[in-house]
Structure 1
Amino acid sequence: MRALTLYTAAGSLLLTTLAATPAGGAEAVPGTAELRGTVVAAARARVTGIDFGSCSQEQDMPGSLQCGTVKVPLDYARPDGRQIELTVSRVRATHKDPHNSKRRVPRQGALVFNPGGPGASGMYFPLIGLMPEWKRLAAAYDLVGYAPRGVGRSAPLSCQDPKHFFKGPSQAPTHPSESYKQERIARAKAYARGCAQRSGGALRHYHSLNNARDLDVLRAALGEERLTFMGASYGTYYGALYAALFPSRVRRMVFDAAVNPDPEQIWYRNNLDQSAAFEGRWADFREWVAKHHKVYRLGDTPAKVLRSYERARAQLAAEPAGGKVGPGQLQGAFLQAGYYDDYWPYRAQALSAYLQGDPKPLIGIAAPVTEAAAEAENSKAVYTAVECNDAPWPTEWRVWDRDNTRLARVAPFETWDNVWANLPCAFWPAPRQRPLDVRTAPGELPPTLILAAERDAAAPYQGALELHRRLGDSVLVTERDAGTHGIAGGPNACVNAHVEAYLLEGRLPVRRTACAPRPEPRPAT
């Protein structure tokens, strides 16, 4: 009787949908079978729950963290078929007010977090409650992280032997020759074949719609009637899918560094926009370095800093640093500076030292860490599978070549590297999903909070504006003139105040608002 009651409560959305199904049967409405499967899986998870205990030694987690697993269907159209296990982590609400030791803070439920990717794990997220900026949230919420399907120990994906994953030193030409392009095409085809060979028929089930469905099963397993969720970067996309699929299941949602959810943007055009935005962020970094020329001696104008960087590229092409760091590794290290301005001092310091004859700092930040090869290979496999499965991609090389040759004329820093990362999608062997048109009308979804840095390169600001337009009753908070990728819980007190007011009190600004930028990083000496 209990299971029936739970099924009825969880199935209200399904019954509404089926009532509108045409005479052709449930399968006449795309996604109805998966919706039914999600309801079945969520009801089952609600009864089973999650048996949290100490984390295994293999997971290498500190003792304050609890770990468990939740089962989800590999294919939601067949909820009684093959099941996979997702690993979940939790730190319980502390109930301790960091500003008043005598006050006991009431628990508000579980706050589930996803850090993005695709391919990133949130298993360490609950430990963030130890940081001062998160203590108020950690007092009221169980902080919950998890590894999405394919990631880590959650039915892991692999596309190649991790022993062959790190290939360094490597080149990274900003104007690749035809022969180099053909070499990369061959590598992309081989990589796509490897994904199919190592994963078999399961490969097609690793995509964003299933990530959103998994999130609802996790919600039910945690015993939550409605979901409180914070997604960063890619996590905002499948969080938005969840909001569109299960609006009545949403309690509060924070979208940090929002991805553009327009179906026409997923994912080929989003990657073009990202490459263009990285050029602007690369310019921001060079301007900052030039401002601190007395410290780094890399040039007192952005153009001179660029010449210093290009000189390092040429030297590394001729003789890789430590036999490990070539132009490709240099580019990868400085791409990270496009994500987080906290990296700026250390990247500038390493480049300066290298050009003055000391390669050790550059090797330290840019050399492949072979011990991390398996984790990095897994992350790339999930990234590729999800993005390739999510939507149609151009299948003719001439389209990629035309669009990116044009873009590279004005945005050479990241354009071709982004192409090589995504090119397996041109030759993908699995069926593609049709992207969901994310839209909710005013009143259909509880108010949600969108956060964005105005100069974010990995998730260009236009994506936050688009998500804001599509989610009725959402409010956008912008960090002006800033570009760090993900701004919640960072050094900006204004941003954090909005996040806390929303998650702790359900309070949002009445309209779009802005916060002043965080302070610029200080140069490292």
Structure 2
Amino acid sequence: MRAVAKYGAVTSLGSLVLSALVVAPAGGATTASAASHGTAVAAARAAAAGIAFGRCAEAEMLPDSIQCGTVKVPLDYAEPAGRQIELTVSRGKATGKPAEYQGAFIYNPGGPGASSMYFPMAAALPEWKGIARAYDIVGYSPRGVGRSAPLSCIAPADFLKAPTPAPVQPSPSYKQERIAQAKAYAQGCARNAGQSLRHYTSLNNARDLEVLRAALGEQKLNFMGASYGTYFGALYATLFPSHVRRMVFDSVVNPATEQIWYRNNLDQSFAFESRWADFRAWVAKHDKTYHLGATPEAVARSYERVRARLAEKPAGGKVGPGELHAAFLAVGYYDGYWTRRADALSEYLKGNAKPLIDQAAPEAAEAREAENGQAVYTAVECNDAPWPTDWKVWDRDNSALARKAPFETWDNAWMNLPCAFWPAPRQQPLEVRTQRGALPPVLILAAQRDAATPYKGALELTRRLKGSVLITEEKAGTHGIGGGDNKCVNGYLEDYLLHGKTPVRRASCAPHPEPDPVSLDRRAASPRLPHAV
């Protein structure tokens, strides 16, 4: 996910001008009441209809062991008898004995704009086998994603045009170019989606989850949301607390209403600077393998040399500074990328551009999915909340932030800038909060140095969902830790999902091991070595 946060990290936000925000139209309470009634109607209808699971469409590229189906939800919950859209759903049946069965377990990987149709395949992984014995493993494509009433804003071929620039200190003329692109993008979303554009929201994603629960025949929800999935999962917990059985929040979006979404994005950019420093420190520690510099500063200079060369001559005609940055942004999310990215940088400086091209060049075959994911991301975040509509606010805040955190700041700003010119009405975010006893215990997982969803978000959600329990992976920064490399975290996750057990308040796990540096030469000479992510 590209838009999540740590409260209060960027002091310049205190001067945000309220008059620069677009606010939701009057009549919000009436609309919310109608949507609440509409959700109950849609859920009852889905419970009666169920889901006719069968062979998956070829486009899903899933094995025969997984079944697929669809569930109908209202485009507009205020009009449950109006236009319906279909969400695609996948399921892998529980593998254990009947006495072990605990129902359906739904997963969302975040985004906004990501699908979990692949998720039933996780049942074969060692970390998930125990859970898969007890639960039907269920994935789905949220509204707008994949084949679920897909949303598009521009031609996919235009979305992945390369090479692209990525100036750390954009000039006034470059800023004007990006403003024009953001306006055109917002207009494209409106032109393609029409009146339906306003209905791609986090609140509707939470309502869709309630309808999916009912369609699966479940009286109560078993759900795990990662990244953005924690935000609409928290909305679900606020709207339907009595319908929750087991709920896991993994890598948590700060749900405070004032954070959604402009401030969360600034806080994320600030946090990425520290994670970028973690990567450079690791590379420096392994200078004998990568020869990129024995200090983090020296590694940074190596990276800048590559950026400068790519600006003059893109690698393979496709990898310029923009593609380089996008590839290396991944190291802030997952340290599983560290070895491959360091290899690619090292090899490029030795005259071998192929690894960098392989890892950074956009793939035409991925253009449609990538454009669709970006369209849904933009629509949901722009619709969810007020955004500054005055470019001077964006310029002031991001210019100030870029002086402290240059690595992601402007790239993140350009990604979200269509929200300044968004044509659909904005909502006021729902206050995420439950009273003690309203929810059963829920599990919150967070890595202490996560940049995509900074740790303060997990602390904030823990305060707001009374009775929730926080598990922290100390001194680690991988984004999404449940079912990953940390056996301690996985133990808490399995205890909770299989037995409903949680620590009394909170617990900590030592960090998972750092990646083992593997040079391309060593990898070629040792084919038994596992491939990095």
TM-score, length of structure 2 as denominator length: 0.92
* 8 Å contact kept, 2:31–2:78: no
- What is the match of residue 101 of structure 1? none
Q: Distance in 1 between matches of 2:430 and 2:505?
A: 27
The structural deviation recorded for 1:62 is 1.0
Distance 1:28 1:296, change over 3 A: closer
| Unpaired segments ≥5 residues, structure 1 | 1-25, 97-103
1:186 is paired with a residue whose SS is helix
1:379 has 2:380 as partner: no
Mark the CA change 1:440 to 1:282 in structure 2 (over 3 Å): closer, same or farther: same
TM-score by length of 1: 0.93
Structure 1 residue 210 and structure 2 residue 211: aligned? no
Query: Which consecutive unaligned segments of at least 5 residues does structure 2 have?
Result: 1-26, 520-533
Query: What is residue 49 of structure 1 aligned with on the other side?
Result: 50
Mapping of residues 211-226 of structure 1, within 5 Å: 211-226=205-220
> Match for residue 492 of structure 1?
486
Question: 2:330 maps to what in 1?
Answer: 336
Structure 2 residue aligned with 1:86: 87
Instruction: Give runs of aligned pairs for residues 425-440 of structure 1, distance below 5 A.
Output: 425-440=419-434
Stretch moving more, 157-166 or 294-303:
157-166
- 1:10 is matched with which residue? none
Correspondence for 1:401 among 387, 395, 398: 395
Listed one character per residue, the Cα deviations across residues 452-497 of structure 1 (whole Å, up to 9, x for unaligned) are 0000000000100000000000000000000000000011111001
Residue 518, structure 1, aligned to residue 512, structure 2? yes
**Residue of 138, 152, 173 corresponding to 1:144:** 138
Paired residues for 1:85-234 under 5 Å: 85-95=86-96, 106-234=100-228
Aligned pairs for 1:416-495 (under 5 A) are 416-495=410-489
Please report how far the alpha carbon of residue 524 of structure 1 lies from its aligned counterpart in structure 2 after TM superposition.
Answer: 1.5
**Distance of 2:518 and 2:201 partners within structure 1:** 41
Q: Which is further off, 163-172 or 468-477?
A: 163-172
Pick aligned residue for 2:286 from 289, 292, 297: 292
Percent identical residues: 70
Q: 2 CA distance for matches of 1:165 and 1:478? A: 37
Give the secondary-structure state (helix, strand or coil) at the position aligned to 1:447: coil
- 1:353-397 deviations in Å (ceiling 9; x for gaps): 001100000000000011110000000000000000000000000
Whether the 8 Å CA contact 1:27–1:33 is kept in 2: the answer is no
Matches within 5 A, 1:18-33: 29-33=30-34
- For residues 176 and 28 of structure 2, what CA distance do their matches in structure 1 show? 43
Quote the RMSD (CA, aligned, Å). 1.0
Q: Secondary structure at the match of 2:257?
A: coil
SS at match of 1:31: helix
AA of the residue aligned to 1:145: G
SS at structure 2 position matched to 1:328: helix
3-state secondary structure, aligned to 1:450? strand
Q: In structure 2, what is the Cα distance between the partners aligned to 1:426 and 1:139?
A: 47
CA-CA distance at 1:30 after TM superposition: 4.9
Cα contact 2:105–2:223 (8 A) shared by 1? yes
Aligned residues of 1:227 and 1:251 also touching (Cα < 8 A)? yes
Give CA-to-partner distance per residue, 1:80-128, whole Å, 9 cap, x none. Answer: 00000000000000006xxxxxxx7510000000000000000001110
Secondary structure at 1:476's aligned position in 2? strand
Equivalent residue number for residue 270 of structure 2: 276
**Is 1:75 matched with 2:82?**
no
1:443/1:472 contact within 8 Å kept: yes
SS state of the match for residue 45, structure 1?
helix
Aligned residue type for 1:218: L
Q: Check whether the contact 1:46–1:222 (CA below 8 A) recurs between aligned residues.
A: yes
Residue 390 of structure 1 is aligned with which of 384, 392, 409? 384
Aligned residues: 493
Aligned to 1:264, what secondary structure does the other structure show?
helix
CA distance in 1, matches of 2:63, 2:96: 20
- 2:17 is matched with which residue? none
Tell me the residue number matched to 2:14: none
Partner residue, 1:410: 404
Aligned residue in 2 for 1:39: 40
- Report how far residue 399 of structure 1 moved: 0.3
Q: Distance in 1 between matches of 2:52 and 2:206?
A: 22
Q: Given the alignment, which residue of 249, 252, 266 partners 1:255? A: 249
Q: Secondary structure of the residue that 1:404 maps to in structure 2? A: helix
Work out whether residues 310 and 320 of structure 2, in 8 Å CA contact, stay in contact via their aligned partners in 1: yes
**Amino acid corresponding to residue 304 of structure 2 in structure 1:** E
Deviation at 1:39, TM superposition (A): 0.2
Tell me, in whole angstroms, the C-alpha distance in 1 between the residues paired with 2:243 and 2:434. 13
Summarize deviations over 1:422-450 as a string: whole Å, max 9, x none: 00000000001110000001101111000
Report the Cα distance in structure 2 between the residues aligned to 1:321 and 1:415, rounded to whole angstroms.
24
Q: Distance in 2 between matches of 1:250 and 1:318?
A: 55
Q: Are 2:68 and 2:88, in contact at CA under 8 Å, matched by a contact in 1?
A: yes
- 1:511 Cα shift? 1.3
- Aligned equivalents of 1:127 and 1:43: distance in 2? 30
Tell me how far 1:59 sits from its aligned partner. Answer: 2.0
For residue 76 of structure 2, what is the amino acid of its counterpart?
D
> C-alpha distance in 2, partners of 1:469/1:347?
37
In 2, the alpha carbon distance for the partners of 1:308 and 1:59 equals 41
Task: Tell me which of the two structures has the higher relative contact order, counting C-alpha pairs closer than 8 angstroms and 6 or more residues apart.
Answer: 2
Within a 5 Å distance, the mapping from 1:334-373 to structure 2 comes to 334-373=328-367
